Amino acid sequence: MSLFHAVLLAIVQGFTEFLPISSSAHLALAPWLLGWEDQGLTFDIALHFGTLAAVLIYFFRDWMQIIAQGLGLNYSPDPELRKSPKLLWLLCLATIPVGVVGLALKDYVETTLRSPVLIGGMLIAVGLLMGWADRVGRREKRIGDVSFGDGMSIGLAQALAVIPGTSRSGITIVTGLFRGIDRESAAKFSFLLSTPAIGGAAAKSFLDLMEEGGVAPEMVLPFVVGMAVSALTGCIVIRYFLQFLRGHTLRFFVAYRIIFGIIVIALAYFRHATG
């Protein structure tokens, strides 16, 4: 893998992991559309670690407070998070569904579910659902008001993100909106919830890689570069996406998903017809 490929794919990961447009779809389709070889397990792990670093760095203070409150320690500088002292345990419980589904369907997801037609269909379907949620959501709750039912509903929705094209942030934000959470808070809860899921996936993949002999010498530099670039890009995207949601709807992302999904399906049929 060249450094150019590594940097480009890392930027794609950093942008699409936190925007509600599906990182798995973009990473699965990039080699297919550009005629590149699949980036492979090693580089996927680098991107996982990069996005994990992004959420840990950006939400470091929040995580310190969430963990402290969950352990009963007196550290609560953020008054909004102070309203939810058991948020740590809610995030842990809400992570269980995606862990179970991810382990059960790992091989199936990495083979059968990577069909461009399925990816395109999920891009469109979740895009339409997002548009509906954005229009009808009451947006009365902030993150400190997230209930057990809200958190578990979002956690169950996150399990659907194992299907490429769904988007972890997309489906969890959609569920948050349907539960009456405002856009920015729904996105923030989504990012916090993604932290253990991304960490678990990265750890599992890293163990698989170690069993296969570890990082090949020629992949060390792309691994480091991919991790650093995806982490930096992810931090930037989180910051500006949360700012964007304070005063804007999700219409742009709805339109992007639908148009991109139609293009993917059209290209898949065109290539099949001419293949």
Least confident of 20-24, 103-107, 214-218, 250-254: 103-107
Residue 191 has pLDDT above 60, yes or no: yes
Pick the range with the lowest mean pLDDT from 15-24, 55-64, 136-145, 147-156: 15-24
When pLDDT is cut at 50, 70 and 90, the band that residue 204 belongs to is confident
Q: Specify the higher pLDDT residue, 239 or 212.
A: 239
pTM for this entry: 0.91
Place of tokens 């942030």: 169
Q: How far is CA 101 from CA 93, 163, 198, 240, in A?
A: 14, 10, 14, 31
pLDDT of residue 245: 96
Q: What is the pLDDT of residue 188?
A: 97
Main-chain phi, psi angles of 181, to 5 degrees: -85, 145
> Above 80 in pLDDT, residue 227?
yes
pLDDT (0 to 100) of residue 262:
94
Q: Which of 169, 208, 205, 209 is nearest to 189 (CA)?
A: 169
Whether 24 contacts 239, CB under 8 Å: no
pLDDT for residue 113: 65
Rounded to whole angstroms, the Cα distance separating 120 from 164 reads: 9
Residue 96's nearest CA partner among 151, 45, 44 is 151
Tell me how far apart the alpha carbons of residues 128 and 85 are, in angstroms, rounded to a whole number: 35
In this prediction, residue 103 carries a pLDDT of 77
Q: Is the pLDDT of residue 159 over 90?
A: yes
pLDDT higher than threshold 60 for residue 275? no
Q: CB 237: neighbour CB atoms within 10 A?
A: 21
Give the pLDDT mean for 101-126: 80
- What the block records as the tokens of 158 is 């996150």
Q: What are the DSSP calls for 210-221, one per residue?
A: HHTTS--GGGHH
The pLDDT of 259-268, averaged and rounded, is 90
pLDDT at residue number 211 = 81
Q: Residues 150, 192: contact at Cβ < 8 Å? A: no
CA distance 56 to 79: 20
Interior angle at CA 164, CA 247 and CA 216, nearest 5: 110
Q: pLDDT confidence of 110, banded at 50, 70, 90?
A: low
More confident residue, 45 or 20: 20
- Say if residue 142's pLDDT is above 90: yes
Of the spans 11-20, 36-45, 96-105, 264-273, which averages the highest pLDDT?
11-20
Q: How confident is the model at residue 85 (pLDDT cuts 50, 70, 90)?
A: very high
Lowest mean pLDDT among 21-30, 74-83, 162-171, 188-197: 21-30
**Cβ within 8 Å of residue 126, ≥6 positions away:** 22, 165, 166, 167, 170, 171, 174, 257
Classify the C-alpha dihedral 201-50-41-172 as positive or negative. positive
